[in-house]
């Protein structure tokens, strides 16, 4: 035997001897424990690790403060009598919120009439319509077309909708006219957003949807599936500013996407640096609004585009409010920052035609930079006994009348019509901002870029001001973080701008002289909801409220 073999055998013997000593030492140590303890210890350790992992995951998602608060509230409800007391108090709030709608429902029909009403149903509908609130010039947003509902542009789109009320674009071979209308609405909308510019790539495409929420849902779903194909992401996350529309929360719940809401910066814009800190290997999408619904302020879309392009993730631009205003405001000389497909990194957009496009309600457009992205929006079914099936949007059947109404609205107005409408509402926006600045108790949230003006106060309860405005017939939007109200200016407000400012001055004076909630007002509820640290409880209130009115 040579020296190398002898050395190898010696090393092997030494190693075996070492293992024997370790085994003996381990057996000696473990012999002092019960066998069952040895059996359950690994299982218990695994259980503790899983609980700890879940706890850390919740902290990462909700934050330490919210997690501890949620744990505290869940624990305190275990005390006898506490849960029933909290539930009773919640029900009082829900009943107050539902007070108006519940009384109206008492006389609603619960089954078909035995004998049909025939054409007499029209008279009944007119009677019911007469009970609606006076909306002309009194609502924030809501109705974007100017004038009376029985004349002018209203009359035109109503006739267009009626003419195609029987159509359904699901049947392309039958209703080819509607297919053309949809394609042209999409193309004309895309052209407003620089689809014909070289920087857009020349492939911008899209579809019509039922509204901004569906457009956003589709864009999120498409981004999720596109990023799964591109990067293999199976645990998707998206990042939005806290001013981004609530439709993104809905999309996150529907499509099982983890959502990060990031505080805005001092200018109430999406904070690009803060968003960048949340980007990780599972990020599929970031979002910018032009403008944001709460304060009417445009996010820094160019910076977000650079961020998305750098990390190879999707960027959706929410133009539901701005799509039919910003391109024309820019032509009128307003300092509008970039927001369209000329920005590298923008992958999709949502644009509501039924807002400032002055189309019938239920019409929006979702756009994509190219067909490779949009293909992930479609659903194709090959194994259905009903045949081969493919659908472009969430709905299968869709109302062709609304598509025809949108086409009619856009064709009837043209660029000159939209330009003139934009001039009117932008001037009203300036007048309202000037009027608010002349009321010392109020201030404007940020610097509005468009036609949404948010109003706050450091000395009055702004929700009490809102209650007085409601009594005067105005329907404004209540906001939070910070507490404020806003008005979304439409053509309906052009003839009533002075009346609005006068009522606002009077409302401020009333609250200043007689602070405190008014009978039937919602200021206490809005104020309490904003201050309530347990957001889960606020969520329960909202769900219970909705469950009782629909």
- Write down the pLDDT at residue 403: 98
* Stronger pLDDT, 90 or 465, i.e. the higher one: 465
Query: Would the CA dihedral through 375, 377, 380, 386 be positive or negative?
Result: negative
- Distance from C-alpha of 444 to C-alpha of 457, rounded to nearest angstrom: 9
pLDDT-based confidence at residue 106 (cuts at 50, 70, 90) = confident
Query: What value does the mean pLDDT take over residues 343-351?
Result: 97
Burial grade of 228 (CB within 10 A; 0-12, 13-18, 19 or more): middle
> What CATH number is associated with residue 363?
3.40.640.10
| Any domain includes 409 | yes
Kindly report the average pLDDT of the chain as a whole number. 90
pLDDT at 28 over 70: yes
d(CA 101, CA 105): 6
Is residue 408 domain-shared with residue 426, that is, in the same domain? no
Of 380, 413, 446, which marks where a domain is finished? 413
For residue 127, tell me if it sits in a domain.
no
Section 529-550 average pLDDT: 75
| Shared domain check, 394 and 427 | no
Regarding whether 466 and 401 lie in a shared domain, the answer is no
One domain, residues 533 and 426: yes
Instruction: Please give the model's pTM, rounded to 2 decimal places.
Output: 0.86
Residue where a domain stops, chosen among 363, 382, 413 = 413
H/E segment holding residue 205: strand 205-209
Find, among 476, 424, 387, 456, the residue nearest to 140 by Cα: 476
Give the number of C-alpha atoms closer than 13 A to the C-alpha of residue 286, restricted to the C-beta side.
Answer: 31
- Contact present, 219 and 366 (Cβ < 8 Å): yes
Residue 99 burial (CB count, 10 A): 10
Which letter does DSSP use for residue 296 in this model? -
**Residue 533 pLDDT grade (very low, low, confident, very high; cuts 50, 70, 90):** low
pLDDT recorded at residue 440: 97
Q: Which residue has the tokens 């010039």?
A: 137
pLDDT bin (cut points 50, 70, 90) of residue 80 is: confident
Q: How much is the pLDDT for 92?
A: 73
For residue 147, give the 3-state DSSP assignment: coil
- 434 and 310, same domain (yes or no): no
Q: Are residues 456 and 360 in the same domain?
A: no
Q: Average pLDDT for residues 87-96, to the nearest whole number?
A: 72
Of 370, 390, 413, the last residue of a domain is 413
pLDDT tens, position by position, 280-311:
999 999 999 999 999 999 999 999 999 999 99
Question: Which pLDDT belongs to residue 25?
Answer: 82
- Domain contains 69: no
| CB environment 149-188: b (16+ within 10 A), e (fewer) | eeeebbebbbebbeebeebbbeeeeebebbbebbbebbeb
Is there a single domain that holds both residue 370 and residue 396? yes
Q: Number of folded domains in the chain?
A: 2
What does the pLDDT look like over 315-334, one tens digit per residue? 999 999 999 999 999 999 99
Query: Are 443 and 433 members of one domain?
Result: yes
Which residues are within 8 A (CB) of 82 and not within 5 positions of it... i.e. 6 or more apart?
76
Q: Are residues 382 and 298 in the same domain?
A: yes
Residues 509 and 395 grouped into a single domain: no
| Residue 53: predicted pLDDT | 76
24 pLDDT above the threshold of 60: yes
Judged against a pLDDT cut of 90, whether residue 54 lies above it is answered with no
Most confident of 89-93, 146-150, 242-246, 479-483: 242-246
Distance between CA atoms of 357 and 323, rounded to whole angstroms?
8
As a whole number of Å, the end-to-end CA separation of the chain is 92
Q: Are 461 and 482 in contact (CB under 8 A)?
A: no
Would 518 be classed as within a structural domain?
Answer: yes
pLDDT confidence of residue 85:
67
Tokens found for residue 455: 């109003």
Residue 46 binned pLDDT confidence (cut-offs 50, 70, 90): confident
CATH code of residue 476? 3.90.1150.10
Mean pLDDT score, 470-476:
96
pLDDT digits (tens, 9 = 90+) for 436-445: 999 999 999 9
pLDDT tens for 157-176 read 999 999 999 999 999 999 99
Q: pLDDT at position 144, please?
A: 97
State both tokens at 371.
Answer: 């067909």
185 with 307, same domain: the answer is yes
The range of the structural domain enclosing residue 233 comes to 161-413
Note whether 230 and 344 are same-domain residues.
Answer: yes
Backbone angles phi, psi at 488, to 5 degrees: -100, 110
**Would 151 be classed as within a structural domain?**
no
For 83, the token pair is 């849960």
Q: Specify if 177 maps to a domain.
A: yes
Q: Is the residue at 117 inside a domain?
A: no
Mean pLDDT of 174-200: 97
Residue 148 lies in a domain: no
């Amino acid at each position: 035997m040579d020296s190398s073999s002898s050395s190898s055998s010696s090393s092997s013997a030494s190693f075996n001897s070492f293992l024997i000593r370790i085994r003996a030492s381990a057996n000696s140590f473990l012999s002092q424990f019960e066998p069952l303890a040895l059996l359950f210890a690994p299982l218990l350790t695994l259980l503790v690790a899983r609980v700890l992992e879940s706890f850390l995951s919740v902290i990462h998602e909700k934050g330490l403060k919210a997690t501890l608060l949620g744990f505290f509230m869940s624990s305190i409800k275990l005390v006898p009598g506490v849960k029933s007391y909290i539930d009773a108090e919640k029900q009082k709030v829900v009943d107050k919120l539902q007070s108006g709608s519940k009384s109206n429902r008492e006389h609603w029909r619960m089954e078909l009439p035995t004998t049909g009403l025939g054409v007499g149903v029209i008279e009944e509908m007119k009677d019911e319509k007469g009970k609606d609130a006076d909306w002309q010039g009194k609502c924030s947003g809501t109705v974007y077309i100017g004038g009376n509902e029985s004349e002018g542009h209203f009359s035109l789109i109503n006739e267009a909708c009626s003419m195609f009320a029987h159509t359904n674009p699901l049947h392309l071979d039958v209703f080819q006219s509607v297919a053309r209308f949809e394609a042209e609405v999409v193309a004309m909308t895309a052209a407003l957003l620089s689809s014909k510019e070289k920087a857009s790539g020349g492939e911008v495409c899209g579809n019509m949807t039922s509204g901004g929420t569906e457009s956003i849902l589709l864009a999120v779903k498409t981004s999720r599936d596109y990023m799964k194909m591109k990067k293999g992401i199976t645990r998707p996350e998206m990042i939005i500013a806290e001013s981004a529309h609530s439709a993104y929360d809905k999309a996150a719940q529907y499509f099982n996407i983890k959502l990060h809401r990031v505080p805005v910066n001092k200018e109430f814009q999406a904070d690009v640096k803060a968003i960048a800190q949340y980007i990780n290997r599972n990020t599929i999408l970031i979002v910018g609004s032009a403008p944001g619904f709460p304060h009417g302020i445009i996010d820094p879309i160019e910076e977000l585009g650079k961020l998305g392009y750098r990390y190879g993730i999707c960027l959706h631009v929410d133009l539901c409010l701005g799509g039919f205003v910003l391109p024309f405001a820019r032509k009128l000389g307003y300092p509008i920052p970039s927001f369209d497909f000329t920005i590298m990194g923008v992958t999709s957009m949502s644009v509501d035609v039924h807002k400032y496009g002055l189309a019938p309600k239920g019409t929006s457009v979702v756009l994509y930079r190219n067909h490779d992205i949009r293909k992930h929006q479609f659903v194709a079914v090959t194994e259905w006994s009903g045949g081969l099936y493919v659908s472009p949007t969430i709905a299968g059947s869709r109302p062709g009348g609304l598509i025809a109404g949108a086409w009619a609205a856009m064709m009837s107005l043209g660029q000159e019509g939209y330009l003139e409408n934009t001039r009117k509402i932008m001037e009203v926006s300036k007048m309202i901002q000037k009027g608010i600045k002349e009321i010392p108790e109020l201030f404007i949230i940020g610097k509005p870029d468009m036609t949404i003006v948010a109003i706050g106060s450091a000395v009055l309860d702004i929700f009490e001001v809102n209650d007085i405005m409601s009594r005067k017939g105005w329907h404004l939007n209540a906001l939070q973080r910070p507490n404020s109200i806003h008005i979304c200016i439409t053509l309906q407000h052009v003839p009533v701008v002075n009346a609005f400012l006068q009522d606002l001055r009077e409302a401020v004076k009333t609250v200043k002289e007689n602070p405190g909630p008014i009978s039937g007002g919602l200021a206490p509820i809005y104020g309490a909801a904003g201050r309530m640290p347990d957001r889960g409880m606020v969520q329960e209130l909202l769900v219970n409220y909705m469950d009782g009115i629909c």
